[in-house]
Structure 1
């Protein structure tokens, strides 16, 4: 199973990913580590990334996801994945790009059953407070509004498990573990 931990900046994606990775012993791939330097510099200046800025990053993360899937491993990938189109690129790589002549056009591809999005959602004010308090991150708190404006919350058919960030880290991790166990039981029953 591949869980892609998604949501706006500052919602706790990396924190949840590290907690789950340590608890379950699964590899964690932190999306921020795969950004080209030009993207990091742009965000550090307070400039929002364009879809074109994100393409190489999303395609690289698609390769990471595919490598984990092909190895049969369970893994976590942290990526904001704010738009449906971005999530399609994570799932299908360059095939998602050729399926659409426009970046805004929806791609009618379903999510593979071994990939789920963990959508961390919460109140703007709570997330903004968290961003102001964190140190050493290139994503500035004043860019949060643009993240909320771009966000297209995932739909049920995208294999999504919504997680309210007002809950404790341990509660969210338990929900993910129970989800994983229930998926295993469904697969066994389906055989």
Structure 2
């Protein structure tokens, strides 16, 4: 993975906390939002109802389902990028092509890939209420493409406590850790 600094001097940073369902991306994104005060969006809340119904029914999304949703998220980021505002987005971003679309939102886009043990993922999915049933985890793992060495990002083990994961991200971004 390629670390920061920004590829464009002065470009706002846009964190995309990514990974399969149950990895803790929303939890980590919210914790980063609380720590940094940057605007936060939960990607799931931008899914059209048809996508939610499909997943809730145990059917995995396909690219045709995801493209319009990803465009909305990239546009959300681009609006804030144009105003010079940094952002935090929780979004699965499972494939490189999806991440490329999200990067269109701003030159300072940086991925935080929450990744880890399948057993822990299943345990988390089974202990929460969410439209994504645990039966879809395997399809997400099959779709997942790990960050490539030329993609700007960091991989964080999901077994880390929330505060440690946040500190790891902030250290990677060279942000003030005292606040």
TM-score over 0.5 for the pair: yes
Q: Which has the higher contact order (CA 8 A, sep 6+)?
A: 2
> Post-superposition shift, 1:92?
2.8
Given the alignment of the two structures, is residue 50 of structure 1 paired with residue 62 of structure 2, yes or no?
yes
Question: What residue number does 2:22 align with?
Answer: 10
Question: What residue number does 2:162 align with?
Answer: 169
Any idea what SS the aligned residue of 1:158 has? coil
> Post-superposition shift, 1:68?
1.8
How far apart, in 2, do the equivalents of 1:168 and 1:156 lie? 25
2:84 paired residue among 47, 66, 72: 72
1:52-131 to 2 correspondences below 5 Å = 52-92=64-104, 112=107, 114-131=108-125
Question: What residue number does 1:104 align with?
Answer: none
Instruction: Report which of the two structures shows the higher radius of gyration computed on alpha carbons.
Output: 1
Any idea what SS the aligned residue of 1:156 has? coil
Coordinate RMSD, CA, aligned: 1.6
| Structure 2 contact 78–104 (Cα < 8 Å) conserved | no
| Runs of at least 5 residues in structure 2 that lack an aligned partner in the other structure | 1-12
The structure with the greater share of residues assigned to helix is: 1
Any idea what SS the aligned residue of 1:72 has? coil
1:143 paired residue among 130, 136, 143: 136
Q: Deviations over 1:22-59 (max 9, x none)?
A: 12111111100100110001001000011001111000
| Runs of at least 5 residues in structure 1 that lack an aligned partner in the other structure | 94-110, 183-191
- Tell me how many residue pairs correspond in the alignment: 164
> Post-superposition shift, 1:81?
0.5
> Post-superposition shift, 1:90?
1.3
